[in-house]
Amino acid sequence: MQLKRILVPLAGTSVDVEVIRVAVALGKPTKAEIVAIHVIEVRWNLPLDAVLEPESERGEGVLDDAMKIAEAAGSHIETELVQAREAAAAIIDTARDRKSDLIVLGMPFRKRLGRVYVGKTVQGVYVGAQCAVLAYRQEETR
């Protein structure tokens, strides 16, 4: 696969660092454009363009950290803060609009009822994305 554009959705979790590094490693050989996004999910009782100051500040921090991680790995990334009703739909739409070849998702290691849990955003992106999707699941910490 000849990668030209990689989309990296970030949630502000501990797996973000590794996801950025994976995207940079995959994108370097072809000098692929890497775009990191953070989606702020807006509650249904608020207008979609509502000013959500704490969430926006947190999202900007997540994206600033991502830029630093990418630069330390020898790459430059573009960042975008997105507001939407549902993260998976926003990720899929952004990937389509930017003509992404690959979405690299992070999955923090989580267990529910003794089983590894895959969240609704990862499931939604896997099912709905038109491009390739790579999920990086964090290893279990002991």
For tokens 């999202």, what's the residue?
Answer: 59
pLDDT of 126 reads: 94
Give per-residue pLDDT as tens, 28-51: 999 999 999 999 999 999 999 998
Interatomic CA distance for residues 138 and 15, integer angstroms: 6
Answer yes or no: are the C-beta atoms of 43 and 69 closer than 8 Å. no
* Strand duo 111-112 + 115-116: pairing: antiparallel
Answer yes or no: are the C-beta atoms of 3 and 30 closer than 8 Å. yes
Give per-residue pLDDT as tens, 75-132: 999 999 999 999 999 999 999 999 999 999 998 776 666 676 778 999 999 999 999 9
3-state secondary structure (DSSP) of residue 8: strand
Task: Give the Å distances, CA to CA, from 82 to 69, 99, 103, 122.
Answer: 20, 17, 16, 17
pLDDT of 85 reads: 96
pLDDT of 10 reads: 97
Dmax over Cα atoms in the chain, in whole Å? 45
If we measure between CA atoms, which residue out of 38, 6, 39, 2 comes closest to residue 134?
A: 6
pLDDT of 142 reads: 57
pLDDT of 45 reads: 93
With a cut of 90, say whether residue 140 has pLDDT above it: no
- What count of residues does the chain have? 142
With a cut of 80, say whether residue 139 has pLDDT above it: no
With a cut of 80, say whether residue 1 has pLDDT above it: no
Please report the domains of the chain, with CATH numbers, ordered by start residue: 5-88+110-137 (3.40.50.620)
